[in-house]
Each structure stands twice: as structure tokens, then as C-alpha cells.
Amino acid sequence: MTQPQNTTASSLRLPEGKMPMLRMMPSPADANVYGDVFGGWIMAQVDVAGSLPAVRRANGRVATIAVNSFLFKEPVFVGDLLSFYADVVKVGNTSITVYVEVYAERNRLQTDVVKVTEATLTYVATGPDRKPRQLPPLESLIAY
């Protein structure tokens, strides 16, 4: 497997003052024979990362109802350490829209940081019957 050749030093850094929702390192099983990580694997991890703030805001179960946008900005390689940042950007009566950014840390010694993916997903809060339910008011949520 070949690693990407980076011709310019990266001046990009991980977002300061924010904690990633998820950190993952793809393995060879997540990639093709050239070491490029499958887009579907990345999409699945973005969905998990986006669901975390949605679950917190819904104070319970959510289901993904839409992938509003998904942009692969750079390839992801086996050995990259991926950090997934997610923020709620819109709240409706039953739905929560989340923006997710994914950064890859590569070349451990140089610590190159590359923004590899960004996406916007919408989740709907669901009850035990898995049907949409009203979101609770903010003041009733438990502080984490």
C-alpha cells in the first residue's frame, strides 16, 4: 500500500476548543487494495458522529432521515487518525440537523492535518414505537 505524497506542508490544525465526537483509525479491512478507505465506511462513521449530538438534543432515540450534503474533500488512507466534529445547526419540532467535519492526522512525525470530509445530516427523534416524537424543550434536558 502506498501513502499519499504530500508536496506542501499542512498549516491546518484540528479545531481548537472543540472535542471530537469520535476518533477512529481505519484499518486495511476498511480500504481497497491501494490503501484508500472506502467512502461508505467514512459515511457510516459520519452518521455515528452526527447522531451523538442529535441523541443528546433529543434526549433519546433518533433515526437518520436525510443526508443533506456530503463532500469528500481529500482521500482517507489506512493509518490516518480521523477526528469527527459535529454540531447541531438546526432544530425543528421533531428533527435535528447536524453539521459534521472530519479531519485526518497523517504522517505522524510531521503531524499533517487535512480536512477530508464535511457533511450535513438530519435526524428525527423517535419514540419507543419508532415513530417521530416532539423534541423536549431545552430547559428539560439533563446537563452532561
Radius of gyration of the chain from Cα atoms?
17
What is the mean predicted confidence (pLDDT) over 17-44? 95
Q: What is the pLDDT of residue 39?
A: 96
DSSP 29: G
Contact 40, 76 (CB under 8 A): no
Q: Return the H-helix or E-strand segment holding 131.
A: none
Contact 68, 14 (CB under 8 A): no
CATH superfamily of 22-135: Hotdog Thioesterase (3.10.129.10)
Asked if the model's pLDDT at residue 76 lies above 90, the reply is yes
What is the mean predicted confidence (pLDDT) over 118-126? 98
Asked if the model's pLDDT at residue 121 lies above 70, the reply is yes
What is the mean predicted confidence (pLDDT) over 72-79? 95
What is the C-alpha to C-alpha distance for residues 84 and 78, in angstroms, rounded to an integer?
16
What is the mean predicted confidence (pLDDT) over 93-109? 92
Q: What is the pLDDT of residue 107?
A: 77
**Of 23, 44, 37, 26, whose CA–CA distance to 75 is shortest?**
37
Q: For the chain, which residues make up each domain, given as ranges?
A: 22-135
Question: Each residue of 36-72: pLDDT tens digit?
Answer: 999 999 999 999 999 999 999 999 999 999 999 999 9
Q: What is the pLDDT of residue 3?
A: 46
